[in-house]
Amino acid sequence: MLQIYNTLSRSKQPFKPLEPGKVKMYVCGMTVYDYCHIGHARVMIVFDMVVRWLRASGYEVIYVRNITDIDDKIIHRAIENGEPIAALTQRFIDAMHADSEQLGLIHPDQEPRATDFITQMQGMIGRLIEQELAYQADDGDVNFAVRLFPQYGRLSGKSIDELNAGERVAIGGGKRDPLDFVLWKSAKSEEPDDTRWKSPWGEGRPGWHIECSAMSCDLLGQHFDIHGGGADLQFPHHENEIAQSEGALYGRKHTSADQPSVNYWMHNGHIRVNEEKMSKSSGNFFLIRDVLKRFDPEVVRFFMLRAHYRSPINYSDLQLEEARAGLVRLYTALSQAASLDHAIDPHSPWVKRFTEAMNDDFNTPVAIAALFDLASEINRAQGLEKADLSSTLKVLAAHLHFLQRDPIEFLQMGNPTLDESLSVVAIEEQITARSSAKQAKDFAKSDLIRKNLLEQGIVLEDKPGGITEWRRS
């Protein structure tokens, strides 16, 4: 049975969907005011992996990942650029989709934009006011009254007495309590017209937290199975989502006995650069599109998934080069025999190891270790057994979206991080010259050509029938 680490319970739990055979999953997506960076790539790749494994396990999955297209950062950037909000956000939505396509990611089943759900947000805010969990302050903002929600702090493990308002939100003059957070922001005179909507509380726009609560509840229902996102969202964003969603449903009398709005909370770890958390404020972040100019998308995916999704990972060129070397090893094993076009044996020890790893909270490092052991077995096998094992490797790797390309094509692909002087044409000319030397029994020249190519990172493999295949090391 699949076990998932639930941030809410701080433990692994057997996965039991609310509706047998069906999974409803919501993942917090991007705020579209700039290009996506490698931290965004990890979120997208991790939950792409989760969706693929759930579907491979027989579940029907509804995968929702939102787009935040109204937010303070968006407004500031649009004003700075002198362009409409919609033009700014659409440009970066298109860029995000281009990055996602290059990475080979499954597109979410639904990708709601916050600005399309203003009515639903206002409805939820209205219910929170009726439940006396929200109030309109003197400055026009509508705020959530944190101290009136008894279950606040369950997800993060923070008690109200421990909370520091400075960790969470700027303290506004109209708040009754510094811990309260905004649900509806009153329009400011200096802000453009396309940043405000009419509401019962005057013109304004939604706060960030209410956006996800309204979209997830509207599309997946008041109770759904999995909510995911980066570890940095656990507090305050996801804590506030719980307060809003469950507060609107149960009110101030909410107890731990009431059904939670989400059964399983999943959070992927941070990406670090030189052992420091990557962030735009620190200036140590890398855009996906820039990374993909230097590394193949499959290498980036392999780099992300060779670490457990909950663990922090350190980004560096060296780490990505090691990931590329790992893929080369797997593709080299695959290149030795054509995969057979038949179903793999579900009782195979390799299938069992891989499945057990993935069912243990999506333990991709252990699953990938099983793939490497299988590759070693392929290297030792002969004939039909080699082809059968190659098929198993390719099918298992498909669950992680690896090893689905022609092995020779991948192995001959250039490495843009290196200063390579040899083109494919030059390599094949050298191979032809070596073949001619061998036919002339000039083995010294043949060996020298092989040695020179190897020194330039080109590995030759002589096959039966006088065929020579090559790959980059």
Residue 90 CA to residue 33 CA, distance in Å, equals 9
Query: Where do the H-state alpha helices sit in 57-84?
Result: 72-81
Burial of 410 (0-12, 13-18, 19+ CB in 10 A): buried
Q: Where are the domains of the chain?
A: 11-272, 294-411, 424-472
Q: Does the 294-411 domain belong in CATH 1.10.3720.10?
A: no
- Identify the pLDDT of residue 284: 78
- Start-to-end Cα distance in the chain: 40
Whole-prediction pTM? 0.88
Classify 269 as helix, strand or coil: coil
Convert the pLDDT of each residue in 303-357 to its tens digit. Answer: 999 999 999 999 999 999 999 999 999 999 999 888 777 778 888 999 999 999 9
The residues, ordered by sequence, that sit 6+ positions from 126 with a Cβ below 8 Å of its Cβ are 200
Residue 390 CA to residue 291 CA, distance in Å, equals 30
- CB-based contact 206:181 (threshold 8 Å): no
Convert the pLDDT of each residue in 407-425 to its tens digit. Answer: 999 998 876 655 555 666 6
Convert the pLDDT of each residue in 239-297 to its tens digit. Answer: 999 999 999 999 988 776 788 999 999 999 999 887 777 776 677 789 999 999 999 99
Look at domain 11-272 and name its CATH class.
alpha beta
Residue 329 phi, psi (nearest 5): -60, -45
470 DSSP β-pair partners: 460
* Annotated binding-site residue numbers: 28, 212, 237, 241, 280
Query: Where do the H-state alpha helices sit in 283-347?
Result: 288-291, 297-305, 317-334
* Annotated binding-site residue numbers for Zn(2+): 28, 212, 237, 241
Convert the pLDDT of each residue in 25-69 to its tens digit. Answer: 999 999 999 999 999 999 999 999 999 999 999 999 999 999 999
For tokens 């498909």, name the residue.
398
Mean local confidence (pLDDT), 110-124: 98
Type of residue at 410? F
Q: Do domains 11-272 and 294-411 have the same CATH topology?
A: no
* Annotated binding-site residue numbers for ATP: 280
Q: In the chain, what percentage of residues exceed pLDDT 70?
A: 94
